Amino acid sequence: MTWRPDAAQRAEELRAQIAYNDRLYHELDTPEIPDADYDALVRELREIEERHPELVTADSPTQRVGGAPSVLFAPVRHLVPMMSLDNAMDLDELQAWAGRIGRIDPQALEADFVCELKIDGLAMSLTYEAGRFTRAATRGDGVTGEDVTANVATIGVVPHRLSWPEDRGPAPSVLEARGEVYMSVSAFEELNRRQLEAGQKTFANPRNSAAGSLRQKDAAVTASRELAFWTYQVGALEGGPELARHSEALELLRRCGFPVNPEITVLHGIDEVFAFCSDWQRRRHDLDYEIDGVVVKVDDLALQRRLGATSHAPRWAVAFKFPPEERTTKLEDIMVSIGRTGRATPFAVLEPVFVGGSTVGLATLHNEDQVRLKNVRPGDTVVVRKAGDVIPEVVGPVLSERPKRAPPWKFPSVCPSCGEPLVRLPGESDTFCTNLNCPAQRVQRIVHFASRGAMDVEGLGEKRVVQLVEAGLLSDPADVYSLQRHELQALERMAEISADNLLRAVEGSKQRPLSRVLVALGIRHLGPTGTRALARAFPSIDELLEAPVEALAAVEGIGPVIADSVAEFLASPANREVIEKLRRAGLTLREPGGSARRRAGARGTGARGAGAGGAGAGAAGARDAAPPGAGDGGAGEPAQTLAGKSVVVTGTLDGYTREEAEEAILARGGRSPGSVSAKTFALVLGTEPGAAKVRKAEELGIPVVDGTRLDDLLETGEVPRG
Ligand code: IVH
């Protein structure tokens, strides 16, 4: 047969890869690949071994539980082996598990299940003799772990003495509490900040930082790290009470003084269990600690004993694993896209990978410096992360898999769309195409004009705009109103109905109020709140066009920077031409209900403050040097109001998807992590917010901003008052 050498060779390859990654994970605490990719290697090996049992070797990683104990700490033989858990990846696998145990013991069909969050930390065994903490051991290979007593003794929440409840009879001579040592997300972020400041290495995630903090020869270092612990299992128990249920054991542990996770719930039937799993899958980022699934355990301990265990895992428990948020994939290329303001943004073209609940094929790399910092090159295998609703991110390369002779990536010197030189000014992180006639910018300006928050022309997305620009039917946003039925119908992939629908949508958009037209024109620095304030103060385009810069600046909420930018924009002949075309097309260019609420004294002086010639005062920068036109020179290139600030969003926001809100924060120089920490500048609250985030913000005294005020926050970079 021909398959055998292939299978044998592949099994060898997989064992070598697994051994290499085991060492990085268990001994060096610096894993290169995400857990999900590691699991896939083990799964593949297990499948090969199942098909070809003659290939199983005694030292195959499928035959043992965890990593080998390291030489740093003394070995400890566990009183009861620390087993691993079998995984269920979806409802089918969960039901299959329930079916399996039901066949072994029909009582399992009627069982109660304890559902526990699967904490992403390090398994730990704590032994108490005569009520005193005597030993802490890592899992190691499941039989022998490492003695980390001195280190664990520094963890504040680990009791040094049991507070044994008298009503439970005599205290046991030996009690082993098992659980997970972990680091909260906020403590992890804080630690990384401190590490950076001290010029020390930072950690990739909370799990690694917990492992690295524990694996210290000097327990004083561990003591300086904010580690925590959740207990989830009684191990050895000698001379204590008879326990009937796992839930009873947890309650006893809690009364002894151990932290037991408050979300643990006893449920009946797999449907209820699955609902619990799905609920936590959705809400996992509402917690300040990382979880990667739910552990489901049969509550009845007698039934647990009857179900027993396989060679590596108990049958009475299963780990429901959430879809991975990190995977590796190939970075096929790094390309550059040109935005409506001319900004050239590098992005990763990835071999599509299913991560964080969706397939990711593209991910932004932000700017030239980020590509260099991330140290990624085309051809690399890279780690891609997509956590919850957050925008997918390339974390970094798997250096051990970098192809030989992969040269570093170079930022292109010319615009990929128009071929004009790209400009990056000293001290700036962004690179720009300054040619306003660049087709890519033209397309993006029109796409923005028609987008949902602007003129909201349904059916005029990027693909359609590209087609219309290429056909010569659109060259500026106002051309949208000159589209003719027969021209549209002559286009490919444009059925009669969709041409009519598009024209109807175009016609309907003529009714949009002035404030939306101002959004659509994409004036630099002017956000949605500012446009509304301006349009209320100057409810017709003519009033606005006549207003001197001082009058603009006198409008509440419009500062001098925005006022200058608006004045410059309106003074540009090219922009005026677009506005006139819009007027001729029949747009009202009025704000219904607008009232002259501007402050007195600044009208009618006639002179424009800035950019009377269109180029703008001090047109030295790349953005300023861009010729004026609709959406010119960084139009909507938002001011970096949130530079260095971290704004967390929770719940559903009106007018923004979660991604849009996060993009808006990033676009203003801010960060938008998934959890609240001491460093959070503000928490933006939508409807149905995550309770844990709100609680955490309250605890830490972080300002909470109502979701309806997000625009104000974006525009000013300050927490809105009142
Ligand atoms: S019970 C024999 N419960 O998950 C059962 N494990 O993949 C032992 N883990 O090694 C484990 N949270 O490190 C259990 N609530 C929980 C858990 C949990 C996290 C970890 C633990 C274990 C691994 C198995």
**CATH (domain of 37):** 1.10.287.610
Pair 531, 413 in one domain: no
Pair 179, 278 in one domain: yes
Nearest to 373 by CA among 432, 431, 429: 429
Mean pLDDT of 374-398: 90
Kindly state the percentage of the chain with pLDDT values over 70: 91
Tell me if 637 is assigned to some domain: no
Pair 256, 317 in one domain: yes
Question: How many beta carbons lie within 10 A of that of residue 616, not counting itself?
Answer: 26
pTM over 0.75? The answer is: no
* 317 CB near ligand 1 (under 6 Å): yes
Residues 6+ apart with CB under 8 A from 296: 94, 97, 113, 114, 115, 116, 273, 277, 317, 318, 319, 320
pLDDT score recorded for residue 312: 86
Tokens 């609902």 correspond to what residue? 275
Does pLDDT of 190 surpass 50? yes
Tell me which of 38, 80, 119, 258 to substitute to probe ligand 1's pocket, judged by most ligand atoms within 8 Å of the beta carbon: 119
Collapse the DSSP code of 359 into the 3-class scheme (helix H, G, I; strand E, B; otherwise coil) and give the result.
strand
* 682 CB near ligand 1 (under 6 Å): no
Tokens describing residue 445: 């300006």
What's the chain's Rg over C-alpha atoms? 31
**Could you please report the per-residue DSSP string of 622-641?**
HHHHSPP-TTTTTTT----T
Tokens describing residue 721: 């008052």
Pair 526, 586 in one domain: yes
Higher pLDDT, 15 or 611: 15
Pair 336, 233 in one domain: no
Tokens describing residue 69: 């104990």
Confidence label for 690 from pLDDT (cuts 50, 70 and 90): confident
* 185 CB near ligand 1 (under 6 Å): no
Pair 500, 520 in one domain: no
pLDDT score recorded for residue 57: 79
pLDDT score recorded for residue 716: 86
Find out whether 563 and 570 touch, Cβ atoms under 8 Å: no
Pair 396, 448 in one domain: no
596-631 confidence digits (pLDDT tens): 444 333 333 333 333 222 222 222 222 222 222 223
In the chain, DSSP finds a helix count (H) and a strand count (E) of: 25, 21
Q: Which residues are catalytic?
A: 118
**CATH (domain of 538):** 1.10.150.20
The conformation of residue 437, written as its DSSP 8-state character, comes to T
When divided into structural domains, the chain yields a total of 6
Residues 6+ apart with CB under 8 A from 242: none
**CATH (domain of 216):** 3.30.470.30
Collapse the DSSP code of 720 into the 3-class scheme (helix H, G, I; strand E, B; otherwise coil) and give the result.
coil
pLDDT score recorded for residue 124: 97
Pair 305, 363 in one domain: no
Centre of ligand 1 from the C-alpha of residue 295, in Å: 7
Confidence label for 253 from pLDDT (cuts 50, 70 and 90): very high
- Average pLDDT over all residues of the chain: 87
Does pLDDT of 251 surpass 70? yes
Tokens 């990683």 correspond to what residue? 61
* 319 CB near ligand 1 (under 6 Å): yes
Pair 297, 387 in one domain: no
pLDDT score recorded for residue 606: 34
pLDDT score recorded for residue 550: 94
Find out whether 677 and 185 touch, Cβ atoms under 8 Å: yes
pLDDT score recorded for residue 722: 64
Tell me if 429 is assigned to some domain: no
Find out whether 356 and 335 touch, Cβ atoms under 8 Å: no
Pair 232, 127 in one domain: yes
Start-to-end CA distance of the chain, whole Å, equals: 78
Look at 81-90, 618-627, 666-675 and tell me which has the smallest mean pLDDT: 618-627
520-556 confidence digits (pLDDT tens): 999 988 887 789 889 999 999 999 999 999 999 999 8
Give 242: exposed, middle or buried? Use CB within 10 Å, 0-12, 13-18, 19+: exposed
Kindly state the percentage of the chain with pLDDT values over 90: 61
The conformation of residue 1, written as its DSSP 8-state character, comes to -
In angstroms, how far is CA 63 from the centroid of its own chain? 35
pLDDT score recorded for residue 571: 94
Q: Are strands 358-364 and 381-385 parallel, antiparallel or unpaired?
A: unpaired
Tell me if 243 is assigned to some domain: yes
pLDDT score recorded for residue 67: 54
Tell me if 671 is assigned to some domain: yes
Name the domain boundary from 453, 474, 509. 509
Does pLDDT of 95 surpass 50? yes
Tell me which of 232, 250, 322 to substitute to probe ligand 1's pocket, judged by most ligand atoms within 8 Å of the beta carbon: 232
Q: Give the structural domain span for 444.
A: 436-509
Tell me if 204 is assigned to some domain: yes
The conformation of residue 40, written as its DSSP 8-state character, comes to H
CA-to-CA distance for 378 and 397, rounded, in angstroms? 10
* β-sheet with 87-88: strand ranges across: 87-88, 317-321, 291-298, 112-119, 265-268
Higher pLDDT, 335 or 612: 335
In angstroms, how far is CA 277 from the centroid of its own chain? 20
Looking from the CA of residue 233, the nearest atom of ligand 1 is: 1
In angstroms, how far is CA 278 from the centroid of its own chain? 18
552-595 confidence digits (pLDDT tens): 999 988 888 889 999 999 999 989 999 999 999 999 999 987 65
Does pLDDT of 266 surpass 60? yes
* 85 CB near ligand 1 (under 6 Å): yes
